[in-house]
Amino acid sequence: MIDRRIKFRHIECFATIQRHGSLKRACTVLNLTQPALSKTLKELEEILGATLMLRDRGGVRLTPEGRVFLEFAEMSLAALQRGVDGVASLRESGGAVLRVGTLPSVAARLLPHAVARFRTLAPDVVLELQDGPHGHLTAQLRAGTVDLVIGRLGAPGTMMGLSFTQLYLERVVFVVRPGH
């Protein structure tokens, strides 16, 4: 069970400090004093029983524990942001929004059929599509600007912290020169 002492402000402060590389810049973004931000980070570290960041004149560096916590803190913040955006979208347009990122090969071949089927199943949902390279789309997914990505799996290092489901199989053909 998650310790109930961990609050949204702890997660937001921790992620913002890392994103901006220093407490001073994070203070400006969060509109907090440096003592308040330091206290919030210290509280989080005490609750978790681990040092998350090493602080010095050059800025901050994550500890191994900090790297692990950051991955899940960012996913949590992105999920909450999607929830807030979904509520706002329902209020404004009366319908939910699904933001889908796709690799160009998927967008050209698989997506037209999937969109047509989706339209029959969920006609009131606004579908926003974005295509791009794998690295860009996984960054968008982590940031919460797309809800899901359809495409090939990336290198294992790029997929850390993301959940994925196999949706389709593609036949792969190798073409080589004679005698290879």
In the DSSP assignment, the letter for residue 143 is H
Q: What are phi and psi of 133, to 5 degrees?
A: -75, 160
Domain 1-93 CATH class label: mainly alpha
Domain 96-180 CATH class label: alpha beta
**Domain boundaries defined on the chain:** 1-93, 96-180
Measure the CA–CA gap between 61 and 72, rounded to whole angstroms.
17
In the DSSP assignment, the letter for residue 58 is T
H-type alpha helices, the chain: 8-20, 23-30, 34-48, 64-93, 104-109, 111-121, 134-143, 156-159
Return averaged pLDDT per consecutive 10 residues of the chain, 180 residues in all. 91 93 92 95 96 90 93 86 76 76 81 87 85 86 84 74 72 81
Q: Note the pLDDT of residue 46.
A: 96
Q: Note the pLDDT of residue 174.
A: 80
